[in-house]
Amino acid sequence: MNTSYNLDNEALTKILLLQNMIGQLPSERAVFEFVARGVSYLPGVAAVDFLLGNTGFENSPTPAALTYPVQMNNEIFGYVQLQLNDTALFEGYRAYIGNLCFMMAAVVQRFRRAEAERDRQLELERRVEQRTEELALQIVETQSAMNRLEEQKERLAVTLRSIEDGVITTDNKGRILSLNRAAEKFTGWRATDAIGLPLSRVYRLQLEDGNTGFTTAEAMTDSPELLSQGKLTDQDGHELIVSHLMSPIHDHNSQQVGLVVVFRDITRQMTMRDRLERIARLDSVGVLAGGIAHDFNNLLSGLFGYLEMAQNTSDIDEIRSLLNKTSSVYERAKNLTGQLLTFSRGGAPVLKTGNLEKVVRDAASFALSGANVSCEFDIAKDLWHVAFDEHQIAQVIDNIVINAKQAMAQSGRIQVTMRNTTMVARNHDTLPADEYVQISIQDFGQGIPDSIRSRIFDPFFTTRKEGSGLGLSTSHSIIQKHGGAIEVESRPSEGTTFHIFLRASNATPKSASVAPARFHVGSGTVLVLDDEAFLRDISSAMLKSMGYHAVCFSDGPEVLEYLHSLSDADRGKVVAGLFDLTIPGGSGGAEIVDALRQMLGDRFVAIAASGYSAGDVMSNPMEFGFTTSLPKPFRKKNLSDLLNKYLS
Amino acid sequence: MCSSHTMVNLGFAEAELPAGTHICQIYSDDRERDESLLRFLFAGLHDGERGACFSNDFSADVIEAYCDREGLDIMRLRERQALSVSDVSSVYFKDGVFNPDVMLGLLEAYHDKAKSDGFRAARVVGEMTAEVNDIQGGKRLLEYESRVSLLLRKKPVTAMCQYNAHAFDGAMIMEVLRVHPMMIVSGAVVRNPFFIQPEEYLKRCEYVV
């Protein structure tokens, strides 16, 4: 018991402070160092040493030494060894130091535990870090794989978006899984709305054979692909002609998982094909019609030439009256052959540059005169000029407006719109990129049935008893020859619109010519070349009545031979020539005109005449050496007007 | 021991101690250090003392912000130059040398200036860093601390020295206790039983007083 010892309060306070402070020290060693140094200042203590660990001191302690294990339960953390210089004086503190060492053990154990916990924590953190790295690597690899997959998907998506073919995929039940952009456009369905719907609801297809073209993936097992053509109706009811391919989709196990439908809008190609076929068809019919019209014109020229002569020579009123009536039939016959010629290759337009507005307004208004149909015009103020044949374009407008009027039965409204249009390369199937004036004539009648729409430009095709069937085919021909295009757009019960495109011209408009005097009188020699004797006869008579001496020939070389035979003085009297361009088996006017010019000079009036209205020469006679042209059949007045113009 | 009759509040208890008390604090975490530093400084500033702080972790702005939060009038403190804050190296290790004589001279001048400026007392708190172990003159640390105790008898600046237990070995910590008459244990200022009067300590160190 320490009660028997004389203990110093100061020393006890020191021990107490040591006990208090060891908990604040940061390490085992610091605790041992601190306590060893502190205990060394206690009474009876000469020096203090310490050891960390449980191996103990190597040398046996001296009798004056006192060794304290720093121990908790059976675990020894170290030793504190005191060298005493006064054993008796220290004896009273022995138990206190034992207690201090026990407290040191508690602190050290706490350190050890904390260290073990720290090690465990570090190990845990190391494992977490290692696992995190592994996971990060896996994530990177997974991300990389996902990126590659995304790239592939994106490439596929971009490809699908970019191609102009519609692509729809479905599952095995025919429910839509995806639509590309083109498919959205063609069907009128947005992908977000269409996904999940049955294919047949979105992709409304009518094949040429009348089938819908749909099948489920299961049904396609035996026929992996179906290629066909049909009519697709979009969500708004518009129709497209599409080529259609349907194939099954297989997964990596060759299991059928759905369908892919690939379709392409071929409406434009089909329209163009129809148009080209129509042009070719009209061309071949035109050749035939032109041939007939030419011969028919010659016959009419003869027939009515004599008729006119008979009118002029007959003194019997009754006969003159009958002859006058016959003349009115002549006008109708002439108009018919004129239409045939216009429709045929022969009716090349005589182009003059100007504004179309007046021609269109006049023709439309004239066609509707007396009808209970109004016409509204919407015409751009700055309409470009066009090189056009006034009579032919008037004829086109007339034909279309009459058709429109008849489409509206009793009454209605026709809308005529004229606009400047710049066509880029892909705007039109047949027209080159350029500037055009577009004339649109719209009626609000019953529309043209699909079944006949492709045939409306065919010659002699008509749905009316009184129609000739030449109106639209002639219009088509005229516009073709103007280098333009004519198109029709029609919806049942809504009406029809004809669009005419005529190329804009930069040429300056020509001023209107002065009307010639009605009857011409002149003098001199006029050469007449024609293979038909009766036409030579009639022309000769007409010229004679106007004061000229007519010399007739049936072949070109005869003309030249005649001129060579003349003296210069007589040759100087030759003022004009009326030359048929087509001499079967011989040479017509075109072949001899240059030689004529050489002999007779520029003063000589060379007139090209043809019942064939032979395109280039008749349209642009001056380019071929002629002064002017005169289409057959012609009347005396027509010839008189020409001579009045050039020989007055 | 301190010979001053001016009693000051150290900030750790109601009880006051004479000005010129030399205290040490052995700390093992920064929060403990910071709390003691601020309590010590605030107590002096509240009581109209001049205070100085040598710390690597506190700038003047931060200390002022703490003072403001404490309710001290910052403008007033600035006007009176009641508070100065310096980093440890610029005070203890100026020019890369630890020179106890210079330090003691500064401490004395600090006291005298505070007195002449009309402060009722002056106090200083400083942290001794591990840098002292390696710097020229660093081995004179305990001599310096012991001489501080001697100086404070004449120039009663209340001083608190903070030592990081992690920066010094256990024996050195015990030696630090030997040169500080008072110490902070568990948030209370207590008499240090290991303290040796400076004359004796310096004698043992063979330093002539």
Task: Quote the ipTM score.
Answer: 0.90
Residue type, A587: S
The residue-averaged pLDDT of A95-120 equals 91
Round to whole Å and give the CA distance between B160 and B182: 9
The residue assigned the tokens 């400083």 is B126
Percent of chain A with pLDDT over 70: 89
The CATH number of A163-265 is which of 3.40.50.10860, 3.40.50.300, 3.30.450.20, 3.40.30.10? Answer: 3.30.450.20
Interface A-B, measured as beta-carbon pairs within 8 A, has a size of 51
Please check the confidence at residue A222 and state whether its pLDDT lies above 60.
Answer: no
Q: Which of A14, A29, A41 sits opposite B170 (nearest CB)?
A: A29
B187 vs chain A: nearest CA distance in angstroms? 12
The pLDDT score that the predictor gives to residue A60 is: 63
Structure token pair of residue A176: 């839509």
| Residue extents of the structural domains in chain B | 7-204
Report whether A326 contacts A307 (CB < 8 A): yes
Main-chain dihedrals φ then ψ at residue B58, nearest 5 degrees: -115, 130
Please check the confidence at residue B142 and state whether its pLDDT lies above 90.
Answer: yes
Confidence of residue B1 (pLDDT cuts 50, 70, 90): very low
The pLDDT score that the predictor gives to residue B4 is: 54
Confidence of residue A615 (pLDDT cuts 50, 70, 90): low
The pLDDT score that the predictor gives to residue A513 is: 46
Cβ atoms < 10 Å from Cβ of B138? 17
Confidence of residue A502 (pLDDT cuts 50, 70, 90): very high
The residue-averaged pLDDT of B167-183 equals 94
The pLDDT score that the predictor gives to residue A220 is: 57
A125 vs chain B: nearest CA distance in angstroms? 24
Round to whole Å and give the CA distance between B191 and B129: 24
Please check the confidence at residue B61 and state whether its pLDDT lies above 60.
Answer: yes
Is A34 in CB contact (< 8 Å) with chain B? yes
Q: Do B185 and A17 touch (CB under 8 A)?
A: yes
B169 to chain A: which residues are within 8 Å by CB? Answer: 29-30, 33
pLDDT in tens, A589-600: 989 999 998 989
Confidence of residue A410 (pLDDT cuts 50, 70, 90): low
pLDDT in tens, A294-340: 777 778 778 878 887 887 787 888 888 788 777 767 776 777 777 77
Please check the confidence at residue A411 and state whether its pLDDT lies above 80.
Answer: no
* Greater pLDDT, A612 or A607: A607
The residue assigned the tokens 């007139």 is A607
- Cα A321 from chain centroid (whole Å): 64
Please check the confidence at residue A214 and state whether its pLDDT lies above 80.
Answer: no
Listed by number, the residues of chain B in 18-37 with a beta carbon closer than 8 Å to a beta carbon of chain A are 26-28
pLDDT in tens, A465-500: 666 677 888 888 888 888 888 888 888 888 899 999
CATH superfamily of B7-204: P-loop containing nucleotide triphosphate hydrolases (3.40.50.300)
pLDDT in tens, A522-581: 889 999 999 888 888 888 888 888 889 999 999 999 999 999 999 988 988 999 999 998
Please check the confidence at residue B53 and state whether its pLDDT lies above 60.
Answer: yes
Least confident of A47-56, A508-517, A596-605: A508-517
Report whether A585 contacts A548 (CB < 8 A): no
Report whether A490 contacts A497 (CB < 8 A): yes
Confidence of residue B118 (pLDDT cuts 50, 70, 90): very high
The pLDDT score that the predictor gives to residue A97 is: 94
Q: Which of A10, A29, A38 sits opposite B174 (nearest CB)?
A: A38
The pLDDT score that the predictor gives to residue A223 is: 54
Q: Do B170 and A10 touch (CB under 8 A)?
A: no
- The SS3 call for residue A560 is helix
Is CATH 1.10.10.10 correct for A525-647?
Answer: no
Is CATH 3.30.565.10 correct for A352-503?
Answer: yes
Confidence of residue A516 (pLDDT cuts 50, 70, 90): very low
The pLDDT score that the predictor gives to residue A300 is: 79
* Per-chain mean pLDDT for chain A: 83
The pLDDT score that the predictor gives to residue A517 is: 43
Is this structure's pTM higher than 0.80?
Answer: no
Cβ atoms < 10 Å from Cβ of A488? 16
Q: What is the dihedral of CA A77, A83, A89, A94, to 10 degrees?
A: 10
Under CATH, to which class is A2-118 assigned? alpha beta
The residue assigned the tokens 């006034």 is A390
